[in-house]
Amino acid sequence: MGKIERKEKEQKDPYEQLKEFALQEGASLFGVAETSAVKDKFHSFSPETLQGLDRAIALAFHLSDRIMENLVDGPTKLYFFHYQRVNVLLDELGLKVTNFIQARGWQALPIPASQIIDWEKQRAHVSHKHVARQAGLGWIGRNNLLVRPDFGARLRLITVLTNMPLKVDKPLPWGCQDCRACLSSCPSQSIKERPEDFDHLGCYQQIKVLVKAAGISQNICGLCVKACPGKKQ
């Protein structure tokens, strides 16, 4: 690397450096939120663990459209494999982002992409979708998932907390408007007009039926994800 290239790299904003790194390592989307704006979405961490980590980095991976289109009446073994491998990729991405941050003298806490602590309430350590919404990656749709114009709900997410001084992104306005494609896609009718009325327990009970029929060991469905492909379709 020449002196000019090295100087330009050193002068680049930390946000832009980290974003460039994350996208090169496999992220489809990158955004940053203030941790204080989503503090009620953390479910398993003590105040001491979160102390000083005032930035929440949201990273997303765009699921394979072809795999999602192949879903008919429930999850498939191919979707099951894809879902698991994407979670592994996101966890590795979280570790790489953590290493990038710590190598520059800051602290970082990667939160697993899919480690559920309460299945009936569908809660993980943190609500990745609410962090991502605050970080400008999309909005919470009627399907209770993160939705954005280009990818719809076909995303998997991970969060990394840090004290690295990063600029924050602005949330997108709610964009489902008159689209209600997800309502008719749900076999348990758990999706309602308002995202806050989503029936978590009904969804969970239906998922248990679907995964048993599919012969898979992961609590996934995918039907409302398929129904929300984004405007490109």
57-158-155-123 Cα dihedral, nearest 10 degrees: -120
- Burial of residue 125 (CB within 10 Å: 0-12, 13-18, 19+) is middle
139-140 vs 146-147, strand pairing mode: antiparallel
Weakest mean pLDDT among 120-124, 159-163, 213-217: 120-124
Cut 0.85: pTM above it? yes
Q: What is the mean pLDDT of residues 5-18?
A: 75
- Distance in angstroms (rounded) separating the CA atoms of residues 149 and 27: 17
Please report which helix (H) or strand (E) contains residue 160, including its range: strand 155-162
Give the model confidence (pLDDT) of 126-179 as tens digits: 899 999 999 999 999 999 999 999 999 999 999 999 999 999 999 999 999 999
- pLDDT-derived band at 233 (thresholds 50, 70, 90) equals very low
- Lookup: tokens for 36: 């204080």
Q: What is the percentage of the chain residues whose pLDDT exceeds 70? A: 91
Helices 77-102 and 14-24: angle between axes, nearest 10 degrees: 150
> Which is nearest to 108 in space by CA: 59, 157, 53?
53
Taking every pair of C-alpha atoms in the chain, what is the biggest distance, in angstroms? Answer: 61
pLDDT at 6: 54
Question: What is the model's pLDDT at position 114?
Answer: 84
Extended strands (E) in 4-140: 29-34, 55-62, 108-111, 116-118, 123-124, 139-140
| Ramachandran area for residue 194 (φ above 0: left; ψ -120 to 50: alpha; else beta) | beta
Is the pLDDT reported for residue 226 higher than 60? yes
